[in-house]
Each structure stands twice: as structure tokens, then as C-alpha cells.
Amino acid sequence: MKQQSNRGTVTAVALATLVVVVIIDQLSKWLAVATLPPREAVPVLGDWFRFLLVRNPGAAFSMGTDATIVLAFVQLIAVGVAVFLAFRARTGLSALTIGLIGGGAAGNLIDRIFREPGGMHGHVVDFFSFWNFAIFNVADIAITVGVVLYLAIVFIVEPRAERKAQE
């Protein structure tokens, strides 16, 4: 019974994380669109960090701007995989990574479906601008943090656990 209860808790962590990421992402995009002038930098920490509202038809660094519908389907698949994996996660940390990645993909997918020009061709709202790096949003941050955590699990946490089990 304990195993079943733990599995349910871990699944809840993954799904709750996914939902919270989507809510924060969509609220932050709504605020950005409602308050920021398009394509006009609003300095927060000089040129190092500013708000800059743009609409991105592509992926990270505006790659794939002509492949918006392909990106939308990739995000749709990512959300489906995240929900599927949420029911198979074994630890809270793996559930967190699943929720972060799935929530980020879902947040950007919502933009692709509902924002102009719409119908899986919508442009993602980006508004965080660091130095001369990239312009991104909360969903992008969640995906990046989720991937980094996943890699840490695969390459650091799991090998340590295996070594410890062998001792």
C-alpha cells in the first residue's frame, strides 16, 4: 500500500508542477502583453536585464521560424509524453523534471494554438532579455531547468546511487 501511495504522490507532484508552470507562464505573458510596448526595451538592470516584448514564430534563438506548425506538433507530443511519464515517475525529483518540461511545452503550445495568427501557427510571447543573449519566457525557463535537472539525475544522481548500492 505504501508503494501505491508514494506513486500517487509522485504523480501528483509531476502534474501539479506542470499546471503551476502553465499558470505562471500564461499569467506572465498576459501581463507582458498588457503592459509592455512591443519591441521596445524596458531596462530593469541597465542593458544587462530588460523586458522586451516580441512574438516568436520559431524556437529558441528564433530558429525554425518557418516551421511553426512542426514546432507546435513537437510541443503537443512533449506534453503528451510528460503526462504519460507523470504516471511512471518514481521519485519527486524526476516528477519535478517531468512537470517543468511538460509545463513549459504546454505553455508555449497554448501560444501556438491561440495567439495570432492562430491555428498551430501562433507566435510565442517572449519578454525576458538578458544582455545580448536571447529573449525568452517562463515556459522556456521551466524547460531549461527541467532538462538540466534531468541531466543531473542521469549523469550524477543515478550513477552515485548505483555505486552506493554496489558497496
Task: Count the domains in the chain.
Answer: 1
Which string of DSSP letters, residue by residue, matches 84-118? HHHTT--SHHHHHHHHHHHHHHHHHHHHHHHSTT-
Walk along the chain (167 residues) in steps of 10 and give the mean pLDDT of each run: 69 98 99 97 95 89 75 94 95 96 98 89 94 93 97 88 78
Instruction: Report pLDDT for 62.
Output: 67
Q: Which of 25, 47, 111, 126 is catalytic?
A: 126
Instruction: Report pLDDT for 2.
Output: 47
The H helix count followed by the E strand count for the chain is 5, 4
Amino acid at 54: V
Instruction: Report pLDDT for 85.
Output: 95
Residues 6+ apart with CB under 8 A from 86: 11, 14, 15, 18, 95, 98, 99, 102
Q: Which of 25, 47, 111, 140 is catalytic?
A: 140
Instruction: Report pLDDT for 119.
Output: 81
How much is the pTM?
A: 0.89
Instruction: Report pLDDT for 107.
Output: 98
Instruction: Report pLDDT for 1.
Output: 39
Q: Which residues pair with 54 in a beta bridge?
A: 126
Q: Examine the residue annotation and report whether 126 is marked as an active-site residue of this protein.
A: yes
Q: Examine the residue annotation and report whether 140 is marked as an active-site residue of this protein.
A: yes
Domain of residue 51 covers 2-166
